[in-house]
Amino acid sequence: MILDRILEHKRAELRHKQSRGYLSELKARIRDAAPPLGFADTLDARKTAASPALIAEVKKASPSLGLLRPEFEQQFEPVTIADAYRRHGAAALSVLTDKEFFQGSLDYLRSVKEKVGLPTLNKEFMVGDVQFYEARAYGADAVLLIVAALDRRQLIDFHALASELSLDVLFETHHERELDTVLEWVPEARLIGINNRDLRTFSTDLAVTFRLAKRVPPGKLIVSESGIHKRDDVLRLVETGVHAMLVGESLIRADDTGAKVKELLGVDGPPQET
């Protein structure tokens, strides 16, 4: 399965980053950095009756599709994309930093956070402590923990390390048992991600959100992830009581990014140019 291949590659990558010097350099940068923005708080505040809050993803490529737009071969401008998301109503951003499979970069994370300033999720496959220091040093406000990729000890320890670094954590689930795992092992988890994409087949189905959302106890923020393409999808998420939605492909592939953001959010009228 793709997730296993990614994790294996990620662990190999991390073996090259284990030097003490690198970790102290990150820690020094963190000491000088501004405190993170409240990622979960912002999502909570930005949900409306018309729409879950939008987490818009800066995504250049994916393992299943390759480059999401052919012109990205010549030119990819993460800040321009992220700023269009912000101007048209995104509440938060997600930036992929994995190079090998998603052609992302920590530099994209840093420049997007610096220039756009919305609460930002570091979309990465977390398998080691150093990645949390990297996330924080490069300006992330939140990190992703993929339940299918981690054992009990890692979920608990990584959550503790993230909290120590003032990073919010989005726990990503796809199956009932993964959701139950988070609820049992990290009962204080606030952000529950439900990934509609089946990593075995790459196909997406919003029914995963409809099914799992029912099992999430009150007080949590539910984030529906992947495969959200049109306003009609969003209306079904609204009915399900979802608090936020994480959208990449359909925004990136739209010819008018701003119009697509507004379509998903159910916002009419002239763009808010600020």
Question: By the criterion CB under 6 A, which residues form the site for ligand IGP?
Answer: 57, 59, 123, 172, 195, 204, 225-228, 246-250
Residue owning tokens 């953001």: 261
Secondary structure E strands in 89-174: 92-96, 120-123, 142-146, 168-173
Residue 52 DSSP one-character state: P
Phi-psi region of 236 (alpha: psi -120 to 50; beta: other; left: phi over 0): alpha
Residue 70 DSSP one-character state: G
Find the shortest distance in angstroms from Cβ 106 to ligand IGP: 15
Asked if residues 149 and 125 have their Cβ atoms less than 8 Å apart, the reply is: yes
Find the shortest distance in angstroms from Cβ 226 to ligand IGP: 4
How far CA 191 is from CA of 43, 143, 234, 243, in Å, comes to 10, 11, 19, 10
Q: CA–CA separation, 46 vs 32, rounded Å?
A: 29
Nearer to ligand IGP, 96 or 137 (CB): 96
Q: CA–CA separation, 113 vs 134, rounded Å?
A: 14
Secondary structure E strands in the chain: 53-58, 61-62, 66-67, 92-96, 120-123, 142-146, 168-173, 191-195, 221-225, 244-247
Nearer to ligand IGP, 178 or 225 (CB): 225
Find the shortest distance in angstroms from Cβ 137 to ligand IGP: 20
Find the shortest distance in angstroms from Cβ 153 to ligand IGP: 21
Nearer to ligand IGP, 22 or 202 (CB): 202
Distance of CA 164 to the CA centre of its chain: 20
Find the shortest distance in angstroms from Cβ 243 to ligand IGP: 15
Nearer to ligand IGP, 141 or 172 (CB): 172
Nearer to ligand IGP, 102 or 133 (CB): 102
Nearer to ligand IGP, 89 or 227 (CB): 227
Find the shortest distance in angstroms from Cβ 142 to ligand IGP: 13
Residue with smallest beta-carbon separation from ligand IGP = 248
